[in-house]
Structure 1
Amino acid sequence: MRSFFLLLSFAILSVSCLFLSCNKDKKTGDNNNNTNGFDKTAMLTQYADQLIIPGYQKMQEQVSALQTASEAFISTPSATTQNELKTAFTAAYLQYQRVAAFQFGPAETALLDAYVNYSGGLDYNFNTDGELTGFSVDTATIEANISSGSYTLTEPTRKTFYAQGFPALGYLYFGDNAVTRLDSKRAAYIRSLTDRLKALTDKVSGDWNAYRSTFISNTQTNVGSPIGNLVNQLAYQMDILKGPRIGWPFGKQSNGVVFATKCEGYYAGISVALAVENLSSLRKLYTAGNSGKGLSDYLVALNQGTLNSDVLSQFDAAIGKLSAIPDPLSQSLTTQTAAVDAAYKEIQKLLTLLKTDVASATAVQITFMDNDGD
């Protein structure tokens, strides 16, 4: 009889634990697709089908247009073809900003960000003016490659990263005497860079068609998950904005010493336009294009409506202050210091919200490290 009651008690306890466990799962949604009625699969599908895949496809188109304009410039170097080239170059570079935060999956495998628009990461050293950090362009390596005609663009080294992609093309297209210096060797190097840019873009875009199912099927928030990657990339891009894009050239980590030539898009003079597009695209990522299926809506489902409102307001504040800086940024760093500093402070506030509060609310671990603080 005593054994019967022990077995009965164990059975009741087991059922109770199972009931409580099920209720917990239904409430938190930690191990399910739905969180408080919010469909995470629908969210990831929205990102894949409406932002990421179309974004890379559009970049393919813009890079093809850039190749066409580049060939026209090479064939007939003049101020006219150079101006037309700048339009195509700017369009392609702006489109890259719209996919910059999708550096996971196929893009991470291809090291797209490093080869196409290297920012140096979040480590830096300002001991010497010539240090290759931030959005530097390794003009010495570029000129050596052109002179020798022998080079590789596939080695995963800082020198290789800094001698190709949009920054290197900007130097070759719009640097001092770019029109008069254009000869057969420089033309050959330009073609190598545009071919490389096109091949990388095509690969990432094509690989996303196969990666899509993997992306939308994983609704967890652990390290390496799609949601984890999206939140991490939001924070990482904000760190790049605060550091290499604005703060480092402005002297925030170099005791006020300005590094104007380290501005993104320096030779084309479009640094602010690129930064504004990057930040605006991060806002679009956060809301999934105001579709009702974005990370912002996921926060609301997690009962974090106030935090979501704060983030949206801070996005708007940062975009507004950043847009108020005149291009070229390289000049505004010294002539519009109040405007640059105001934008920097709003960017810093937004970074803290995303990297700390949003990551915590979504149970996402930030996996990258910076060394300049928030």
Structure 2
Amino acid sequence: MKKYFALLLTLLFLGCSSGSDKPGPEPADEGKDRSVMLKALAENIIVPSYDQFKTKFDLMAEKSKAFTAKPDAQALGEFRNAWAEAYIAWERVELFDFGPAEKQTIRNFFNIYPASEAGIAANITDPTSSLEVPASYPTQGFPALDYLINGLGANDTAILAQYSTDKDAAKKLAYITRVIARMESLLGKVMSEWKGEYLNTFVSKTGLDIGSSTSLMVNGLVLHYERYIRSGKFGIPSGAMANGIPAPEKVEALYIKNMSQILAQAAHSAYVDFFNGRHAVTGEAGPGIKSYLNALGAKDSGTGKPLTESINAQFQVAAAKLGVLKPNLYEEVKTNNQAMKDTYTEMQKAVRMLKVDMTSAMSITITYTDNDGD
């Protein structure tokens, strides 16, 4: 009997000591913690991506000042190169159109294309015209700069003449300065919010209701892939959508002619990186949408495979179609349009996975509307 009580006491002691330290969460449970996901996405991807863009933007602003001070061939070339690098960097932050970016409607002021040549001309004539109303969207940002430094003449000599001997040369130079200043102001507002109280707000709103960070983010991301990558860069120019009539003049970076595909690749790869939680600086995968979906056990309803595996596989197919296109998508629409349509088709398959399967697995309600039949 004494041996029995001794054994019982030993077991009780072991039970108490093993329970004194609460076990850590299982990996799957930890992966479901939305605050961890949101914090990692904000600190590892969103904020450093904006920092990287700001560096490129600042260089563009610097080169624009040199050009407006002395509009010669060298200054034009350096300004053009800095603009191109900043535009590519922009594609890696444009997808963050939720929170501060949505509040400032920065995408609409930075990258609505094609640019309005008539609107730009009117603004040049009237320096008091508003750049803050919706009608002004296609008169500013990267597309407007594309027109101003690449499209005002048939060659560099003709373009430089617009800024030196033309009767409105001074006004045109002033408009470049005005466009850059407007972009700088909006970018500053967005970045200051992300580096201020909004980051804490973003991480703390961990629910799944319409106003939660996860809902706002997922809605913004799905909308971006559907409307601004799939449709804007491929569906509309190729005529794969709506009326079926090709519109090569609606490609991104219309005037420079050799980087619309590069911009599309940058946008698509940035999207894939964000989905997979890849750190903007190191490239290492961390907590993000992929890890969250995996923790939820989300499956592809058709194959039974992990949903993230199916989504990434479709991303790869779309990227492969995009990768074989030539740099000038304007010419691709005119001479190789089926390849443009094929890219759109593969991206459309990804849209369905993101908009239906992913949001369903995450219990997210799509709150935006799109009238193209998805």
Please give the alpha-carbon distance, in whole angstroms, between the structure 2 residues aligned to 1:315 and 1:224. Answer: 28
Residue 145 of structure 1 is aligned with which of 106, 123, 142?
123
Is the contact between residue 115 and residue 164 of structure 1 (CA under 8 Å) also seen in structure 2?
yes
* Shift in CA distance, 353/250, structure 1 to aligned 2, threshold 3 Å: same
Q: Within 1, Cα distance between the matches of 2:220 and 2:103?
A: 15
Aligned-partner SS, 2:64:
helix
CA distance in 1, matches of 2:68, 2:80: 13
- Determine if the alignment matches structure 1 residue 326 to structure 2 residue 313: no
- Within 1, Cα distance between the matches of 2:344 and 2:105? 28
Of 150, 158, 163, the residue aligned with 1:174 is: 150
Matched, 1:301 2:299: no
CA distance in 1, matches of 2:339, 2:70: 40
SS in 2 for 1:356: helix
How far did 1:49 drift?
A: 0.6
Distance in 1 between residues matched to 2:243 and 2:201, nearest whole Å: 46
What code does the residue aligned with 2:171 have? K
Which residue is 2:3 aligned to?
Answer: none
| 1:67 counterpart residue number | 61
Amino acid aligned to 2:162? R
- Cα distance, 1:181 vs. partner? 1.0
Mapped contact 2:40–2:286 kept (Cα < 8 A) = no
With the length of structure 2 as denominator, give the TM-score of the two structures: 0.83
Counterpart in the other structure of 1:259: 247
d(CA) in 1 for partners of 2:369, 2:265: 24
- Which residue is 1:136 aligned to? 114
**Is 1:37 aligned to 2:37, yes or no?**
no
Q: Which runs of 5+ in 1 are unaligned?
A: 1-33, 119-134
Question: Structure 1, residues 274-320: CA drift from partner, whole Å, max 9, x if none?
Answer: 11111111111111105231111111111125211000111111112
Q: Deviations over 1:61-104 (max 9, x none)?
A: 21111111112222333443333222211111111111112111
Q: Is 1:263–1:329's contact at 8 Å kept on the other side of the alignment?
A: yes
Q: C-alpha displacement at 1:243, in angstroms?
A: 1.4
Q: TM-score, normalised by structure 1?
A: 0.83
Distance 1:201 1:346 in 2: 33
1:154-165 → structure 2 map (5 Å cutoff): 154-155=132-133, 157=134, 159-165=135-141
User: In structure 2, what residue type is equivalent to 1:152?
Assistant: S
Per-residue deviation at 1:54? 1.2
CA distance in 2 between partners of 1:55 and 1:336 (Å): 34
The residue aligned with 1:13 is none
Letter matched to residue 271 of structure 1: S
Q: CA-to-partner distance for each residue in 1:312-362, whole Å, 9 max, x for gaps?
A: 111111112112110211111121223212211111111111011101110
Q: How many residues align?
A: 324
For the pair shown, the structure with the greater C-alpha radius of gyration is 2
CA contact (8 A) 2:114 2:254 kept: no
The range that moved more, 305-314 or 34-43, is: 34-43
Matches of 1:357 and 1:141 in 2, distance apart? 42
Deviation at 1:273, TM superposition (A): 1.1
Query: Once the two structures are superposed, what CA deviation does each residue of 1:119-155 show, in whole Å capped at 9, x if it has no partner?
Result: xxxxxxxxxxxxxxxx221111110111233312122
Structure 2: tracts of 5 or more residues without a match: 1-26, 154-158, 164-168, 279-283, 300-305
Q: Contact 2:68/2:177 (CA < 8 Å) preserved in 1?
A: no
Does residue 42 of structure 2 align to residue 48 of structure 1? yes
